[in-house]
Structure 1
Amino acid sequence: MSFVRVSKYRHVFGQTVKNDQCYDDIRVSRVTWDSHFCAINPKFVAIIVEASGGGAFLVIPLHRTGRIDSSHPTVCGHKGPVLDIAWCPHNDNIIASSSDDCSIKIWEIPENGLLSPLEEPLLELDYHSKKVGIISWHPVASNILLSAGCDNIIVIWNLDTQEAQIELDMHPDLIYNVCWNFNGSLICTACKDKTVRVIDPRENKIIAEKEKAHEGVRPMRAIFLKDDKVLTTGFSRMSERHVALWDKDNMEEPLATLELDVASGVLLPYYDPDSNIVYLYGKGDTVIRYYEYTNEEPYVHYISTFSSASTQRGMGFMPKRGLNVSKCEIARFYKLSERKCEPIVMTVPRKSDLFQEDLYPDTAGPEPALEAAEWFEGKNADPIFISLKPENVPTKNQEVKGLKKTILANRVAKKKENSSSANQSVASSSSDTSEVLKLQEMVQEIKTLTELVSNQEKRISQLEEKIAEITK
């Protein structure tokens, strides 16, 4: 008698959305770098694109679907191709980017998206001597960013002080990826030397490692699961793609291994800690495989595979608080193909329209649980959870919070030092400057819109003249 494992996610299925809900005519970057090329939050879609004379990425408001005009403004302050982008988990208007030009930049996106090219970052961070291919925000503490470069160094930045506060120089070769654990107390890394390492960054020491986690020479990936198990993807000597699960307290042998197929695309994993589902996609593949993780053997359970017609060049993942809970949506991916960004919705089939509490446990919210200084001092905390019931989901960030507030205060403090009104308080200056900046932004937006209307009017008149000539 065959045994069917009981799981509420057994019938999860994926669906592409209608064409008018996609983002079309996007020149996705052709850089040969194994990053996702796409970052999503409940407000914006960000996509790394081809750019002449430097690096750029698009930022599109989530609702602005359809054809994206070639003149759509970009974030374009890098001198080399952009390699990675990441939205701040604690402020939906802040995004970080890293580049071939060895720099990391922090940007603030206006509430309604870009009306003109954005070239001036909030912050520019320089430390790495080679290109920076990996950036990752701390999941719990505010204003902490991790970066890893081709100089084989990991840096953890305190953005409150704009300093590289921790340097981890323990990798002899290229770092393929870095992942924080659930509360941000540890990181795990996959390296070109075929070793997976679990590192305590504040102690600057390796607490566990596994050499030759995968025998193949092609790139590996390593991510933390919610209970601090480590899941890795890689290749065998025969170029078969493998998945392995490890216990960081004993990494002699894997707890579980899966053999998938023979293909050249690096398997990039995405993990949802609320549902314990791991999604795997490969660059150049047309499928997304998904598995459920449990803490009992055989640990990793295959659920299903989503297939589409076009190959994927990258993928973005919507945070849980951006999903449509009324339609039992448990995940949403944004798949990049040649010139298109296509949302893929993963749904649990349920007949009831009521909120499904078993599918949506409380999830990590946008409020940081720690300040940067507290984390660097050694404190740990779990994320601050929020309910996904429609009436409880926060609709907008607090004004001038987190990173923006810190940077604004720093700028005001510098101006205060250089001005004659040194006796005024930083707090009042910050408030005044905030109002001035808002007014300047509004004036700039009005100017940009006026120019846009004027240009469109000229274009219309030119087209009318051409039509008149043709009809004659």
Structure 2
Amino acid sequence: MNQRRVVRQSKFRHVFGQTMKSDQCYDDIRVSKVTSDNSFCAVNPKFVAIIVEASGGGAFMVLPLQKTGRIDKAYPTVCGHTGPVLDIEWCPHNDQIIASGSEDCSIMIWQIPENGLTAPITDPVVILEGHSKRVGIVSWHPTARNVLLSAGLDNIIYIWNVGTAEPMITLDMHPDLIFSTSWNYNGSLLCTTCKDKNLRVIDPRKEEVIAEMKAHEGSRPMRAVFLTSGNVFTTGFSRMSERQLALWNVKSCERIAQLEMDTSNGVFLPFYDADTNLIYLCGKGDCSIHYFEITDEAPYVHFLSIFTTKEPQRGMGFMPKRGIDVTKCEIARFFKLHERKCEPIIMTVPRKSDLYQDDLYPDTIGPEPAMEAEEWFEGKNKDPILISLKDGYVPVKSREFKAQRTYLDKPQKKSESGNAPMKGTFPNVNSESKLEELLQEIKTLKATVASQDERIANLEDQMAKIAI
């Protein structure tokens, strides 16, 4: 009875999901078929990025949010990797910067033009090299500019200063494959899940594990997210392959709550909204999104509802709060990937009033970084800079450009192509002309490969039509 009473009183008890109409979807996209438990999609208030099929390398598509409808087969992609792209993430402090990790063992940082792509992009602004095996996770620091985490199949986590293209911190404390990583609210701590079934909380600058616990008994992949309270929420599997959720107090290393879900094989991708304390769970291959409210009262993890569609999801993108429509009481927006399209889903709290609902929209994380990379590496911690959504989020153009120049200042000084050599290794003066010649040749070859990819795709479509 107590659980019912607590849940019923929640203002999020009647949150309902709604798929956008077909003309608001992105159609005819060849979503990547790589067997990975990543989300394949990243969104921000300007763009949606989707990892796509690409012959002879790895690519992802970047679409302005308003470019809905059928996407032309020849639409340009970001295609500089030589192996499939495994993970992408937009920079939280600059809506035109995105990081990608790939099977080619590299991380690349890309700058997307203000209005989207007009031609294929093959040259990143920075290349980060250090992993000996493929890079499955990239994650930006929540408050410090130019700090990026990467995790590879070499079981190592690097934390980079993107401005200098150097790996500043190396965390070699996982005996097996790293399934997931999550920064805490101010980016002072990390939590990770690993194939050894352990949840770890790490102080990255001290390079120490400060808490470790056996999270879920099953061997299938686990996921973990840090909550604003300092607790950690995990998804995983029992020994009998049932999907489980759990809430952990990392200070005492104790489990606060655990829920058994179902026996589906799909790994739950958890998306956490720090403003409302809601957790959305999107299972790979599921047709549904489960959502829960986390509170400090028993039973702590309160089931709210399930949103179900007809088709299973291959991946999912989650819009930052500053990209949603506050005039419609929207509290979350997802971008669901099907085999050939991307479908936006909005989550709304039903309200009769048209006025701004203060209780639904506390001040949220804005795009301004709280500090520079050097400050964080020196040991400083700062909470995110918050903004009000009362009048909606309006990006300030001058700030955006200033952030870009600051962001790209250091890498651009290193080479005219924008590729920052790792650890500041510079070519000598005598080899500069030769290097320039080689870079130009590589650029030409990449453009040729990209155009051939488009031609192959068109020919495949023609063959398919003839076969029918």
Q: TM-score range by the shorter chain?
A: 0.7 to 0.9
1:232 corresponding residue in structure 2: 234
In the aligned structure 2, how far is the partner of 1:414 from the partner of 1:44? Answer: 28
Instruction: Return the offset for 1:412.
Output: 4.2
Letter in 1 for 2:298: E
Residues 397, 108 of structure 1: CA spacing in aligned structure 2 closer, same or farther, 3 A cutoff? farther
Alignment of 1:105 onto 2:89? no
Alignment partners' CA distance in 2, 1:20 and 1:340: 12
Change (3 A) 1:391 1:326: closer
CA distance in 2, matches of 1:157, 1:87: 16
1:135 CA displacement: 0.2
CA contact (8 A) 1:143 1:402 kept: no
Match of 1:381 in 2: 382
Asked if 1:91 corresponds to 2:94, the answer is yes
Confirm whether residue 81 of structure 1 aligns to residue 119 of structure 2.
Answer: no
1:146 to 145, 149, 165: 149
Structure 2 equivalent of residue 452 of structure 1 = none
Structure 1 runs not aligned, ≥5 long? 416-447, 449-472
The equivalent of 1:261 in structure 2 is 262
CA contact (8 A) 1:91 1:397 kept: no
* Alignment-derived partner of residue 464 in structure 1: none
Q: How many residues align?
A: 415
The answer (yes or no) to whether the contact 2:164–2:410 under 8 Å persists in 1 is no
Q: CA deviation at 1:403?
A: 5.5
Q: Name the CA distance, whole Å, in 1 between partners of 2:400 and 2:227.
A: 33
Question: 2:185, 2:13 → 1: CA distance?
Answer: 25
Q: 1:232 to 1:354 in 2, by over 3 A?
A: same
Distance 1:399 1:305, change over 3 A: closer
User: Residue 223 of structure 2 aligns with which residue?
Assistant: 221
Alpha-carbon RMSD across the aligned residues, in angstroms, is 1.6
Residues 277 and 53 of structure 1: is their aligned pair in 2 closer, same or farther, counting only changes over 3 Å? Answer: same
Whose radius of gyration is greater, 1 or 2? Answer: 1
User: How far did residue 410 of structure 1 move?
Assistant: 4.7
What residue identity is the alignment partner of 1:408?
A: D
Are 1:310 and 2:311 an aligned pair?
yes
Aligned amino acid, residue 87 of structure 1: W
Greater RCO, 1 or 2 (C-alpha within 8 Å, sep 6+): 2
**What is the CA distance between 1:396 and its match in structure 2?**
3.8
> How far is the alpha carbon of 1:414 from its aligned partner?
6.5
In the alignment, what sits opposite 1:335? 336
1:284 is paired with a residue of what secondary structure? coil
Is 2:94–2:400's contact at 8 Å kept on the other side of the alignment? Answer: no
Return the alpha-carbon distance in structure 2 between the equivalents of residues 395 and 45 of structure 1: 20
How has the CA–CA distance of structure 1 residues 352 and 397 changed in structure 2, closer, same or farther, with 3 Å as cutoff? farther
Q: Which amino acid aligns with 1:111?
A: E
Asked if the contact 1:61/1:113 (under 8 Å) is kept, the reply is yes
With over 3 angstroms needed to count, the CA separation of the structure-2 counterparts of 1:397 and 1:95, relative to structure 1, is: farther
Identity %: 65
Structure 1 segment 307-456 matched on structure 2, within 5 A: 307-390=308-391, 393-396=394-397, 398-402=399-403, 404-412=405-413
Amino acid at match of 1:330: I
The match for 2:463 is none
Q: What whole-Å deviation, never above 9, does each CA across 1:19-67 have from its counterpart, x for those lacking one?
A: 0000001000000011110000000000000000000000000000000
Unaligned runs of 5+ in 2: 417-446, 448-468
Q: Give the counterpart of 2:42 among 39, 43, 51.
A: 39
Q: Conserved in 2, the CA contact under 8 Å of 1:143 and 1:403?
A: no
Q: 2:60 maps to which residue?
A: 57
Give me the whole-angstrom Cα distance separating, in 1, the residues matched to 2:59 and 2:333: 25
1:436 corresponding residue in structure 2: none
CA deviation vs aligned residue, 1:89-113 (integer Å, no higher than 9, x gap): 0000000001000000000000010
| Amino acid across the alignment from 1:248 | V
Distance in 2 between residues matched to 1:214 and 1:19, nearest whole Å: 39
2:12 to 9, 20, 25: 9
Q: Give the Cα–Cα distance (whole angstroms) in 2 for the partners of residues 149 and 63 of structure 1.
A: 34
CA distance in structure 2 between the partners assigned to 1:332 and 1:319 by the alignment? 8
Q: For residues 367-414 of structure 1, give each alpha carbon's deviation from its aligned partner in whole angstroms, at most 9, with x where no partner exists.
A: 000110000011001100000012664354624334543433553476
CA distance in 2, matches of 1:199, 1:49: 33
